[in-house]
Amino acid sequence: MTDLIDILFTVGLWSSVLRIATPLIFGTLGALLCERAGVLNLGIEGIMTFGAMAGWLAVFMGADLWTGILVAALTGAAFGLVHAALTVTLGLSQHVTGLGITLLASSLSYYIFRLAVDVQGTPPTIEPFAPLSVPGLSDLPLIGPALFTQTAPTYLAIALAGVLAYVLFRTPLGLAVRMTGENPHAAEAQGLNPIHIRYGAVIAGSALMAMGGAFLTLAAFNSFFPTMIQGRGWVCIALVVFSTWRPGRALFGALLFALFDAYQLRLQTVFGSAVPYQLFLMLPYILSIVALVVMSRRARVPQALMKPYRRGER
């Protein structure tokens, strides 16, 4: 029992929490932005996979790491444009279109990777982002090495949560996005164009999703393999509901899931073969489902979510 408690006070655990949470933060913020404008984007799993591949491939071919992040964001935005064209302009099912985007992007990422890279044996690697120490703060006991010795994309993800919260709830642009997700006809009556707003939200949100995928290949790891997203996109969709469509709570939810995940990895070493490791792998998802059920009972869904908008129709 003492060992289980001691794990909570180790630098390695909390350092892992931030590292595991980073792609979830990017993905959840992206999905949240889409849904705030009234569009469900189930293409997130494929977009994250393609972003991971595109960012890694750009760096592998000679670009710097930040250019790799930018390339990933642009490819995510491109898939967002496709999703918006099919769901916003044509009014097709957001569920079916999103799943189609996931299948397309996931398959296309592996196809392009195999065409561009001659993989024989061990996959090729790149030099990933190095941890950055924040002067003064990184020297603090326990929390210093854990929280203030992370890679630059981790700090960017946390900052973006604050930026998105400010934009959504403190600016006219954020009000327009929220109004479009609640009642696009009311937004139209105020002189806004809900179609343009939804396009912008889906494109920007998809770019954030792809950046989450790029983090895995450019910071957490140093190579690409097709199954590396491992359901993180679906976790992000659940975290949006957990967060009740608020960026601050989305950040908290991503960190909470990451804590569960990092903790179960260390529980495996404590119990060894005495307990099947599959039980520990289920732990973060079980706890997340419980938290999701509790939080979702108080959640207020954007009223126009998944509802096609036609100008002049009600």
pLDDT tens digits, residue range 168-199? 999 999 999 999 999 999 999 999 999 999 99
* Overall residue count recorded for the chain in this entry: 314
Which pLDDT value is given to residue 180?
A: 96
Given a contact cutoff of 8 angstroms between Cβ atoms, the answer to whether 132 and 152 are in contact is yes
Which pLDDT value is given to residue 284?
A: 74
Strand partners, 132: 150
Q: How many CB atoms lie within 10 A of CB 95?
A: 12
Which pLDDT value is given to residue 288?
A: 74
Q: Which two tokens stand for residue 291?
A: 């938290």
Which pLDDT value is given to residue 14?
A: 85
Which pLDDT value is given to residue 107?
A: 95
Q: How far, rounded to the nearest angstrom, does the alpha carbon of residue 116 sit from its chain's CA centroid? A: 26
Single-letter amino acid code for the residue at 133: S
Which pLDDT value is given to residue 111?
A: 94
Give just the sign of the alpha carbon dihedral 25, 28, 34, 38. Answer: negative
What does the alpha-carbon distance between residue 81 and residue 101 come to, in Å, rounded to a whole number?
11
Nearest Cα residue to 213 out of 202, 200, 226, 201 = 226
Which pLDDT value is given to residue 272?
A: 67
Segments of the chain scoring below 50 in pLDDT: none
Q: pTM of the full predicted structure?
A: 0.93
Which pLDDT value is given to residue 309?
A: 87
Which pLDDT value is given to residue 312?
A: 63
Which pLDDT value is given to residue 72?
A: 97
Which pLDDT value is given to residue 120?
A: 76
pLDDT tens, position by position, 125-176: 899 999 888 787 777 777 788 788 899 999 999 999 999 999 999 999 999 9
What does the alpha-carbon distance between residue 94 and residue 43 come to, in Å, rounded to a whole number?
9
Which pLDDT value is given to residue 2?
A: 66
Indicate the domain borders of the chain: 14-118+149-230
